[in-house]
Amino acid sequence: MVIENEKILVDAFSNKILYCANDYIELEMKNPVSTRYSSHPGDFKKYSTSEIREKFLIEDIFQPNQLTGVYSMEDRLIVGGIHPVDQPVVLRAIEQNKAEFFLERREIGIVNVGAPTQITADGVQYELGHKEALYIGKGVQDVVFHPSQTGPTYLYFNSAPAHQAYPTKKISTREAEVVTLGSLENSNHRTIYKLLVNSVLETCQLQMGMTELKPGSVWNTMPSHTHDRRMEAYFYFDLNEQNAVAHFMGQPDETRVVWMKNHQAVISPPWSIHSGSGTSNYTFIWGMAGENLDYSDMDAVKVTELR
């Protein structure tokens, strides 16, 4: 489907601009955050590879000097990236907020997947090192993401609706709840850093963390699980250009594969498994929003039950 007037032609599903008159770009620059609707698992079975990629894969998450992302109707999680290059990026309200400022009724979790940098939240400056996370609570008005002085700046974020203001807090891997799972024999030896979870700090519904696979291990979240109470988003990184991750999604008895590259994210609806196998090891950020804050609330699926 296409939305059209004489100035602009937009693909209504992906929000990609197909045609735009030059003067229109200045007047009404495209919303940097596109909307994606929820999917029914019955419909999902009929999707082609490209339909699955359009609806769930987020390919270009980092645009120079911009915040870009996807507003998912799955628990209204916003999944995106901030890539300041030679100027700071300001967190502005987006059309979907219909609010004065982005965090008026939202919370946000940011994980630094690039060089050490600074984030200012209502005048307070936070130094955020590589693989460190910052939680910013509801009500914070002025958030500025600065370019790093030492290397490329890549900030990945998830934002969920929030109804209470909790304090802004930086969490490093030292403060995280750390769990090591799997084994090299099962090619799934990995360390899970629970960064922004309720055993570490207070959030309304957001939970975020990072999982690092050991060299030689390629499988994440295997055995698989679902959690109908919460949706989830995965963002893969620490993967070089020669390698890729085969991300598995779908109901346990109807799985499909999404081939993913470095710095790409994927939306996992509550009814879907979310597991991957890489052609090398890698790291990923997981983030969830929904009914409860119980990380362990998962419905496990036996490897032999997958179809």
Ligand X SMILES: O=C[C@H](O)[C@@H](O)CC(=O)C(=O)O
String of contacts with ligand X for each residue 288-307, x by CB under 6 A: ----------x---------
Q: How far is the CB of 255 from Zn ion (least distance, A)?
A: 15
Whether the CB-CB separation of 234 and 266 falls below 8 Å is answered with: yes
Instruction: List, as one string, the DSSP characters of 2-28.
Output: EEE-SSEEEETTT--EEEE-HHHHHHS
Q: Are strands 207-213 and 283-290 parallel, antiparallel or unpaired?
A: antiparallel
Structure tokens at 231: 């949706």
- Name 246's bridge partners: 259, 277
CB-based contacts of 194, cutoff 8 Å, min separation 6:
176, 177, 178, 179, 200, 207, 209, 295
Choose the one of ligand X, Zn ion, none that binds residue 263, judging by a C-beta under 5 to 8 angstroms depending on kind.
none
CB of 272 to ligand X, least distance (A): 11
Binding-site positions for Zn(2+) = 225, 227, 232, 274
190's contact among ligand X, Zn ion, none, with CB below 5 to 8 A by partner kind, is ligand X
Among 102, 278, 286, 290, binds ligand X (CB under 6 A): 286
Residue 278: beta bridge partners?
Answer: 245
As measured in angstroms, the least distance from the Cβ of 49 to Zn ion is 23
203-232 residues near Zn ion, rule: CB under 5 A: 232
Q: What DSSP assignment string belongs to 201-225?
A: S--SS-EEEEEEEPTT--EES-S-E
Contact 270, 229 (CB under 8 A): yes
Rank residues 98 and 302 by Cβ distance to ligand X and give the closer one: 302
For residues 196 to 235, the per-residue mask of contacts with ligand X, x marking binding by CB under 6 A and - elsewhere, is -------------x-x--------xx----------x---
Binding test (CB under 6 A) with ligand X, winner from 61, 192, 239, 301: 192
Residues that bind ligand X (CB under 6 A): 181, 190, 192, 209, 211, 220-221, 232, 274, 286, 298
